[in-house]
Structures are given as structure tokens and as C-alpha cells.
Structure 1
Amino acid sequence: MTSAATPTFPATALDQPFGRLADLIATHAAVAPGRVAIIDGDRRLTYRDLDTAMNRVAASLQRDSIGPGGSIAIAAGTSADYVVLFMGALRAGVAVAPLAPSSTHDALVTMMTDSGAARIFLDADNAAALGDRRLPAPVTAFADFAAWLSADSPAPVDVTPDMPFNIIYSSGTTGAPKGIVQSHAMRWAHVGRGTMLGYAADTVTLVSTPLYSNTTLVSVIPTLANGGALVLMAKFDARRALELSVAHGVTHAMLVPVQYRRIMELPDFDAFDLSRYQMKFATSAPFAAALKADVLARWPGGLVEYFGMTEGGGSCILIAHLYPDKLHTVGQPAPGHDIRLIDDAGVEVPPGTTGEIVGHSPAMMTGYHGQPGKTADARWTSPDGKVFIRTGDVGRFDDEGFLTLLDRKKDMIISGGFNIYPSDLEAVLAQAPGVVEGAVVGVPSDAWGETPVGFVVMRDGADPEGARAWTNERLGKTQRLAAIVALVALPRSAIGKVLKRELRDGWRG
């Protein structure tokens, strides 16, 4: 029996139509002040520590005349201070633009300017990399973070559902960055979904992807909302991920497919005690069915794959441990999500037909920051007036409503008038003798317009031409690989997506 002097977390706090993550953290600090919220190497922050630090951040922003409607930008690696800064800004009603440090210097400055950030926060590596470059707002270095913090208490602010929570940039390595504005209402929808996926006060979440990524925030937000603990990895390492999982009794993890592959390839994987795991998640890149099956067979706990976009719109969820015969799919539309397929003319296609995936859900971006034209281009409106987000992905539903993801629309190869989906070829290539991983892109061809070329990482001593011959024997005549290129590693983004543009640009056939 709980005494009157021992407060309990109110069950209604997570059930309300709208609430604030910062308020939930304050409630956890009152209910269980000594509970660990963040583990960052040897550093531990309890919920009392986190709440107090958030107040200092909010007060510091208010001192600097940055309040509701304003924004800050962060370019830094994963750390406890990063989490404190992000959450403290939210308490002040200030939107956060978390930027990818891997971006070019010009792209970083462009994103800082586009976000309208009133202050920029840089860790030591990014401060050194940017050097004397002129930035669009005052800079606070993480080395000076403690000195920047105010000792005052912040003034309360009113945060409404439509206010921006964060601005996440969809590009920063190539092309023009687009700032995806996500509202507090959108993020609150993620909080509500968390309890259905097993997030609770005893949750321990491994954070192995960068904090600027929506992939990461999808697991960080429900962990803190429910009073769980975050175990931060500044840089992913497969063995270290398992060591941290054992040391801290990790129960939840969001990993991208390449991280799963690297972990499962460890020769002593089965020696690690991962019995505390309750749920593992995956998103951001294609997840091979064979790899999903291996994770299900050897790694305790459930496995859930998400398919969706940072922009929001519709998402699909594959509860892999419940549907082991559907591992080739990305699952079914999430509850309350409307996923449809359209053709090149923007007309919805009949069941069983391939088309571009569009989606509508309660969690959709407000738009691209300062880019109404691109916002309009990203939307499709159904005949009944409902607004959907265009994914640029091509897929097909089966008879049970499971979505098979074929490819990015822009990656489809048109060879001799035939549509070729690289994912079909990659599924065969991945099984070829000696192939560790592979990707297929279309390259120019005088004879066919485009022709498929494979790029592979081979095991030591394996023959790439032998892998091409093996693959082509199992492909249709129009699908066969014209060439194969062996690489030390496939080029990837920080969250594991294969950068096919780099493969195409580097082709010298």
C-alpha cells in the first residue's frame, strides 16, 4: 500500500489528449527523484538531476530572450548534455533543430540559417571543424555549457499542440536541406504509442543512433515519458552494444538494419546474456527477411519494424515475432493510419497493384520550414479532400493488408522499357556465395537506357564475378546485372541508409 507521503505517477498523465514531455519528466522527478534517467559512460543523471538541469536550460534561454516560437540548433555527438539541452529547450517552448555533424560545412550553415536558430550549440569537434566560419547566431560550445547555465528558475510558458517541437532536416550531405517541422501534438502521439510497445518505468533503452535522427527520438521520447532510463552510445560498436546491454539490463533498443547485421555476425553473439530484452525496433533502411529471421531465432524479446517517414503521414508496423511468415513485408498500417497507393498520374490504384505509397495519420509534419512549395509537392490530396504525405517509395499490398516495399521511386530502373526494382535483385544478390552485402543501381546504357549494376562487399577471397554469375542465373533476362563492383564497404549515412547516389556517381563503366 502506498502512503500519502509517497506520490505515484498518475495513470491519466499519459492518457490525456495532449500533454508535454517536459511536464512528464517533472512528474517523474517528483515521484521517483532518485531513478536513473540517463547513463552516459560513467556519468549518471537521475530524474531529479535531469529536471533540475532542464530548468537551468529553460531559464538560460529566457535570459537570452529566446522563448516560445523561437528555436535553437545543435550540432554535436550524443551525450547527456545534448539530452539535457534538448529537453530543457522544450520546457521553454523553444523548438530544437538537431543537425547532422556529418553534413558538409556549407550545409550546416544553411540549416542553421534556415532554422532561424537564435543560438547555436556545438561540441568540440564541430566547433573545431567550423573554425572561423561566420555563423548566423551566437554560439555556445559544449565545453562552456555549465558556465552558460543560469542558476535561476524559469518562468512558466504555455505550449500549445501546434507549436513546433523540433525541426529535423531530411538532407545535409547532398542536395538542398529541408527542415521538417514536427509539432508537440505529433510527438505526443509517439508518447501514446509507447505504452503499447512496452515502455514503462523499468525500461532501459539502448541509444545507438545519433540524437539528431528521428529514428532515435522515436525511442528516446517514450522512454523518458514513461520514466525509463537511456543508455547512450557516442559511437556504435557491435560488441560494445552487447556489453552495455548486459551491464545495464537493457530492455529496449532501436537499431538500424546494418547494426543488426554487424551484431549478429559476431562469432560469440550467443555468449551474451540478453534475456532482459523485451522489445527491439528497426527502421530507416530495408531490413532483409533472412536477417529478421536470425534476430528472431537468436535474440530474446520481440522485434518490431517501422516503415514511415520523418515527415509523418502513414506508418506501417511489422510485429515480426507475431507474423514470422511476413518477414518479407514491412507490416500493416498502424492503428489510425491510412496508407494508399497511387500511380504516376496521382490516381489511386486497385488492390494488388504496384504504386507509390502515400499516408495520412495523426502524426504529420506541419510542413517544410520556410518552403511552402516543397511542402505542397510532398502532399497528395484524395478525392474526398484528405491530405496525405507522399513517400517516394513504391510498394504493393498483399491480400491480408501487409505492405511489401519494392523500392524508392527514384531508384527504379527502366531498362528496355521494363521496370526493374533493385530490391528484387538485391534479395538474390545477398544470397550469392561470398557476398556480405550488396546494392543495385541503374546506370546509363546506350542499348537499354539503363542497366543494373551490383556493388558488393565480399568475404575474404570470394570472387565477385562468381557472385554475379550465380545471381544472374536466378534472375530474369531483363534483370541481369551488367557488371559487379567489389567495395570495402557500401557508402552509408549515419543511420545506415545505403547512399545509392554515391554509387551511381562513382560508376565508371
Structure 2
Amino acid sequence: MSAIQAYAEEPFGTFSDFVAMQAVARPDQDALCCGEMRLDYAGFDARANQIAARLQADGVRPGGVVAICAASCVDYLCVFLGTLRTGAAIAPLSPSATPAQLAAMISDCGASHVVLDAAVSDHLSEALAARPGGLKAVPLALEAGAVGTRLDAWLADAPARPEPVTITPDMAFNIIYSSGTTGTPKGIVQSHAMRWPHNHLTDPVGFGPDAVTLCATPLYSNTTLVSVLPTLAGGGTLVLMPKFDAHGFLELAEAHRATHSMLVPVQYQRILAEPDFDQFDLSSYRLKFCTSAPFSAALKAKVLERWPGGLVEYYGMTEGGGSCVLVAHEHRDKLHTVGKAMPGHDLRVIDAEGQECAPGEIGEVVGRSGAMMTGYHGQPEKTREAEWYGPDGERFIRTGDLASRDADGFFTIVGRAKDMIISGGMNIYPADLEAILREHDAVADVAVIGVPSEDWGETPVACVVPVAGRPVTPETLKTFANAQLGKMQRISAVRLMDELPRSAIGKVLKRELQDGWSKA
């Protein structure tokens, strides 16, 4: 057993140590690739050390926070790792957030530094100038309009190595902000103890030195980190795609002989829709992953049929708690589910009174495991709202998702509790209606929402993206769906749209659909 393999068996360690060990074991192997930029493990380790030393010279200490807000690039991950080596937490922020949201998140996490690219610098210039205190802005590149000191200039007189810091399990690894699709973004604090299993236990066959992971989701997302951390801890190569497009993804996958990718469902849908998909050589793929948004059984089946390699779906939350895994290529009869609880994870289904549901009954999913958030940063009340305690006093994290569990232990998600439609006193689950509409061959994408009704309190309506070149009317789709739905489930209206509003990681923004419906 190698030293790296032995380290992986320890009860606790750090992502930083894994990278340092890989820099010794395979210094010349590519760690990071982005366009023409490549950085081997020796270079990655050295640049992260220099960034850590510079941060320490600026006064960053264990318990501090460094924010980063930029498109995916090689230096993004160098800053990420360098921050961890100071004992501070990294707070990756979404460049698509509004200036007000970004300013609020930077203030909330208490960051001493914010590393940004030129686009974000322009976006945030007024907010940064208005913030009191010693916030230092460090641009990733020297571009017109950039606020602060360019990264290379900032590093010019930095020592080559930082002062050593002891990392303990309870220290904050990162603060990831929720998408804000249901209100003000909340800072989710994840500890080093929570992140430790993510370095090497999230892939059924493991990420080794010959892994090539094509990363086409943003680095501020927990979805992305689920594949980034094990790739780099395992000594593989991470290929970054700053801006996703389906054809470009296929070109990169073929050119780099990609073995792994984490994608969200809408990306799978767009990639498979490429007219020349079957002309690309994707035979190098071992595993593809998916998480973050509902993944229909029909789409999973298409991925398994047309794309070489296995398919694994993860179900879980950035907040942690319990997670499920569906190894789709091994359970083709369970594609309608999100799989079973992962080893060491305890998932339960509870009713509105907090009592556990029997198999087959629908309730809220709660979970616990070794990977659980410390809490929402600075929001103890929100943290308490997210917790449920079992009969023995065990702490669980509430997901807000409604699901049932079958006799084999597989979970089927029927929707979000907040999205459930109550019409005439009856519970209607949008996922059931969406599944029916997806069976129509003219439907490319669909979301069902509840809108106010004088007669029923709420009524379900459907927002549908039709397949290109296949004309269909709202009335046709309404008739098709309602012929297969119970009387209390029937859709009252259908609206055709060019596309559904989605977050950067593919979640449908149902609040925007509801607002748009009421204004139309």
C-alpha cells in the first residue's frame, strides 16, 4: 500500500495534504488544465503555498475567511488551496449573483480578502468601494477596470512557503452560499471533518492518477466540488470548462480522453440533443455523475443507452446530512428513484408531525451522516429550522424534499415541500404531473407550478418548452396530460416558453415562473 493509499485510510486528514503528497509522487503530471493553461502537481502545490504565505503576511489566520468570485480558471483552485493552507475558510461566491447579494455575502462571511476576475470587479466596484474596513480586492488578471492589486504583483514578494498550520476536524473548510432561489442566500459552513470523506469515498470505483475529469459546472457549487476534490486528491487531471456549451463539451471530452464528468440534468439533455453527438469518441468514459436537480428516468435511460461508461446519481444537500446514490447502470429497474442511502448514512421519511412514515408513504426526507454542516453562518435560528432530532436525540438535517421509500430501500422524490400544490384540500406533487407531460414527444422541458385559484385555493399550471421543429398547442398538451391524471390533479393551463429559467447549476427557478405567470 502506498503512503497516499494509507493516508486515505486515516480517520481524518486534509485535502491539502493529499495534494502535497501527489506533488511528491507525480510532480510532472498535469493537475489542472484550462484552455491553453496547464499546471502540474509540483506547480499547483508551489503556487498554493505562495498564496498561503502571502495571505499570512496580510494577516490571515486560522478562523479567517477569504472569498473568491470568478469564472473557473487554474488560479481559482490555487487560491482555493492556498486559503485552506492558512487555516482560513474559503467562501466561493457566484458571479451571477446581484451586486447587492455579493456585497451582503462578503459582509456576512467576514472575508478579509476577495479574489475576483475583471467581470466581477466591474460588477462589484461600487459595493467594494462602499464597504468599510480593510477588505482587500485581488484581481486574478490585469485587465482594464480591475479593482485592487493583480494576483502576480500581490505575490511578487511573498515567501515560497507558508508557516505551518495545524488543521483540526472542526475547523471550517468552506462557506458555500445557498442559491438564493428561495430567499436571501445562507452561508453553509462545512468543516474539514465533513469534507474528509469527499476526498476519496464518493466514487464507486475511485479517482486514481489516470482519471481525467472534465469539469463544466461552476467552481462555487458544491455539485462541482464533489468531483473536483477526489480528482485532485487522487492525483488525476482536472480539465476546466469556464463556460458550458454542449458541442464544446464533446470536443473537450474527446480531445482529453475524459474518464469522469459531473453534470446536471439539463446539461445531459443538451449534450444528447447535439446532432453530431454520436460522431464523438467518448469511449474513454468510466463514470458520469449527476446531482442538484431532478433527473428523469427517461433521460437516465438515454444516457445509459448512448453514452459509454456507467452513470451514478447522487442525491443530497450542500448542508449535508444523509445522501443517496443510484448506480444507474446496475439498477435499470430503479431509474425513477434517487437510489439508496450511502453506507454510513441514515435517511428517514417523516410526516408533518415529525413522526416516521411507513414504507410507501410520502413525507419529508431527513438525514444524518459524518458529512453534516456545522450550521448556517451567523444564523442560529435558520440552523435550528433545518434540524430534526430523532427519538434517541440524534441530529438530522431536514431536506425540504418530499419522498417515499420502497421496500428495497430506494427513495423516490416527488417534489419540494414548498412546491407542493394544495388544491381543494388535496396534495398535488408537481413531479407527478411533469412526468406525464414529459411522455409527450413534443415536450423538451417542463415545470409545473401552483398559482392562486378562487375556486380551489391553488391550481396546477404547466410551463412547457416544446421540442424544436415540432409544433404543438397548449390545448393539445393540456388534453394529453389531463386524460392521464386524476380529477383533482388536472392541469388548468399550459404556457409554451422558449426556455425555463434556471440557476447556474440547472435548478428550475419556480419562483420566477410563478411571478411571471401572475404578471402575464
- TM-score exceeds 0.5: yes
Equivalent residue for 1:147? 153
1:304-343 per-position Cα deviation (integer Å, ceiling 9, x unaligned): 0011000000001000000000000000000000000111
Aligned counterparts of 1:132 and 1:104: Cα–Cα separation in 2:
12
Is 1:338 the counterpart of 2:360? The answer is no
Aligned counterparts of 1:376 and 1:69: Cα–Cα separation in 2:
23
Is 1:394 the counterpart of 2:402? The answer is yes
One-letter amino acid of the counterpart of residue 477, structure 1 = K
**1:496/1:81 Cα in 2 relative to 1: closer, same or farther (>3 Å)?**
same
- Partner SS, residue 201 of structure 2: helix
Do 2:200 and 2:234's aligned partners in 1 also have CA atoms closer than 8 Å? no
Equivalent residue for 1:469? 479
TM-aligned CA deviation for residue 8 of structure 1: 5.9
Q: Which of 121, 128, 131 does residue 135 from structure 1 map onto?
A: 131
TM-aligned CA deviation for residue 351 of structure 1: 2.1
Is 1:242 the counterpart of 2:250? The answer is yes
One-letter amino acid of the counterpart of residue 282, structure 1 = C
What is the root-mean-square deviation in Å for CA atoms of aligned residues? 1.3
**1:352/1:247 Cα in 2 relative to 1: closer, same or farther (>3 Å)?**
same
> 1:91-490, aligned counterparts within 5 Å?
91-133=85-127, 134-135=130-131, 137-143=135-141, 144-149=150-155, 150-172=158-180, 175-194=183-202, 196-459=204-467, 460=469, 461-490=471-500
Is 1:38 the counterpart of 2:32? The answer is yes
Is 1:495 the counterpart of 2:473? The answer is no
Aligned counterparts of 1:135 and 1:241: Cα–Cα separation in 2:
39
Aligned counterparts of 1:75 and 1:146: Cα–Cα separation in 2:
17
TM-aligned CA deviation for residue 192 of structure 1: 3.2
Aligned counterparts of 2:351 and 2:181: Cα–Cα separation in 1:
30
**1:447/1:194 Cα in 2 relative to 1: closer, same or farther (>3 Å)?**
closer
Q: Which of 50, 73, 86 does residue 79 from structure 1 map onto?
A: 73
Aligned counterparts of 1:436 and 1:172: Cα–Cα separation in 2:
26
Gap runs ≥5 in structure 1 = 1-6
1:252-304 per-position Cα deviation (integer Å, ceiling 9, x unaligned): 00000000000111121111111110010000000010000010011111100
One-letter amino acid of the counterpart of residue 308, structure 1 = G
> 1:5-16, aligned counterparts within 5 Å?
9-16=3-10
1:388-434 per-position Cα deviation (integer Å, ceiling 9, x unaligned): 00000000011111000000001001111111000000001112241
**1:195/1:396 Cα in 2 relative to 1: closer, same or farther (>3 Å)?**
closer
Gap runs ≥5 in structure 2 = 142-149
Aligned counterparts of 2:336 and 2:103: Cα–Cα separation in 1:
40
Do 2:170 and 2:192's aligned partners in 1 also have CA atoms closer than 8 Å? yes
One-letter amino acid of the counterpart of residue 13, structure 2 = G
One-letter amino acid of the counterpart of residue 70, structure 2 = A
Aligned counterparts of 1:12 and 1:195: Cα–Cα separation in 2:
18
- Range with bigger deviation, 195-204 or 28-37: 195-204
Do 2:4 and 2:18's aligned partners in 1 also have CA atoms closer than 8 Å? no
TM-aligned CA deviation for residue 173 of structure 1: 5.7
- Partner SS, residue 131 of structure 1: helix
- Partner SS, residue 406 of structure 1: strand
Do 1:72 and 1:119's aligned partners in 2 also have CA atoms closer than 8 Å? yes
TM-aligned CA deviation for residue 198 of structure 1: 2.4
One-letter amino acid of the counterpart of residue 101, structure 2 = A
Do 2:460 and 2:491's aligned partners in 1 also have CA atoms closer than 8 Å? yes
Alignment TM-score, normalising by the size of structure 2? 0.95
Aligned counterparts of 2:45 and 2:200: Cα–Cα separation in 1:
21
Equivalent residue for 1:57? 51
Aligned counterparts of 2:231 and 2:45: Cα–Cα separation in 1:
15
Percent identical residues? 56
Equivalent residue for 1:19? 13
**1:481/1:227 Cα in 2 relative to 1: closer, same or farther (>3 Å)?**
same
How many residues were matched structurally? Answer: 503
Is 1:66 the counterpart of 2:76? The answer is no
Aligned counterparts of 2:330 and 2:77: Cα–Cα separation in 1:
34
Aligned counterparts of 1:321 and 1:356: Cα–Cα separation in 2:
27
TM-aligned CA deviation for residue 87 of structure 1: 0.8
Do 1:413 and 1:442's aligned partners in 2 also have CA atoms closer than 8 Å? yes
One-letter amino acid of the counterpart of residue 462, structure 2 = G
TM-aligned CA deviation for residue 13 of structure 1: 1.5
Aligned counterparts of 1:41 and 1:8: Cα–Cα separation in 2:
33
Alignment TM-score, normalising by the size of structure 1? 0.97
Do 2:366 and 2:398's aligned partners in 1 also have CA atoms closer than 8 Å? yes
Aligned counterparts of 2:199 and 2:86: Cα–Cα separation in 1:
19
